[in-house]
C-alpha cells in the first residue's frame, strides 16, 4: 500500500474531505465494533511499520499530551526543577475532567522534529495515535481531529474506507 506522508498534502486533503470524513464517521457507528477493531489493528501494524514517527513530530507541534503526577516528577527532574515549579510553568489543568496537560505547543521537548526526551516521554505520547487500542468506533471524533495531524491516522482512515467499501 502506498502511503501519503507529505504533511502539506494531508492537511489540504483533510480540509477537502471534512464532510466525507464526518459521513464516514456516521457510517462506522453502524458497524460492528469488534470487526472494525480487527481491521484497524491490522492496518495499524501495516502502516506503523512504514512510518518513523521520530522523523515527523507533527503531533508534538499541535497536541498537548496529558501527564500524570508521576510523569510531572520525572519531567521536572529532567528539567532540573521541582515538580511544583514544573507544574506551575508547564502544566495546565482541565478543571472539568481534572486532567493535567503539558500546556505548550509545540511541545517544549521538540527539537528539529525530534523528541529530546523520547525514552522518558509521557504515556500519552507513547500511545499516540491510539490506533492500536480497542473501541475505535467510540473514539471517532478524536480520530477525525488527528486525521490532519498524523500520517498514520490519515492513511489508516483512508485505507479503512477502502476496505469497508465506503462510498461518499
Could you list the beta-strand ranges (E) of the chain.
91-94, 99-102, 110-111, 114-115
First to last CA, the chain: 21
Going from the C-alpha of 99 to that of each of 29, 92, 131, 143, the distances in angstroms are 27, 8, 21, 20
State mean pLDDT over 96-120. 94
| Residues above pLDDT 90, as percent of the chain | 95
Confidence of residue 75 (pLDDT cuts 50, 70, 90): very high
Q: State pTM to two decimals.
A: 0.92
Per-residue model confidence as pLDDT tens digits over 20-56: 999 999 999 999 999 999 999 999 999 999 999 988 9
What pLDDT, on the 0 to 100 scale, is given for residue 90? 98
What pLDDT, on the 0 to 100 scale, is given for residue 92? 97
Amino acid at each position: 500500500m502506498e502511503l501519503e506522508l507529505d504533511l502539506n498534502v494531508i492537511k489540504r486533503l483533510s480540509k477537502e474531505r471534512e464532510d466525507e470524513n464526518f459521513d464516514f464517521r456516521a457510517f462506522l457507528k453502524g458497524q460492528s465494533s469488534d470487526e472494525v477493531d480487527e481491521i484497524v489493528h491490522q492496518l495499524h501494524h501495516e502502516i506503523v511499520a512504514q512510518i518513523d514517527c521520530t522523523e515527523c513530530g507533527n503531533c508534538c507541534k499541535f497536541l498537548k499530551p496529558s501527564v500524570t503526577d508521576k510523569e510531572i516528577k520525572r519531567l521536572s527532574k529532567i528539567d532540573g526543577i521541582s515538580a511544583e515549579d514544573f507544574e506551575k510553568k508547564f502544566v495546565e489543568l482541565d478543571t472539568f475532567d481534572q486532567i493535567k496537560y503539558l500546556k505548550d505547543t509545540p511541545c517544549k521537548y521538540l527539537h528539529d522534529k525530534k523528541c529530546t526526551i523520547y525514552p522518558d516521554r509521557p504515556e500519552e505520547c507513547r500511545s499516540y495515535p491510539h490506533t492500536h487500542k480497542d473501541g475505535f468506533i467510540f473514539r471517532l471524533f478524536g480520530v477525525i481531529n488527528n486525521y490532519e495531524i498524523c500520517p498514520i491516522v490519515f492513511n489508516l482512515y483512508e485505507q479503512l474506507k477502502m476496505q469497508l467499501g465506503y462510498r461518499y
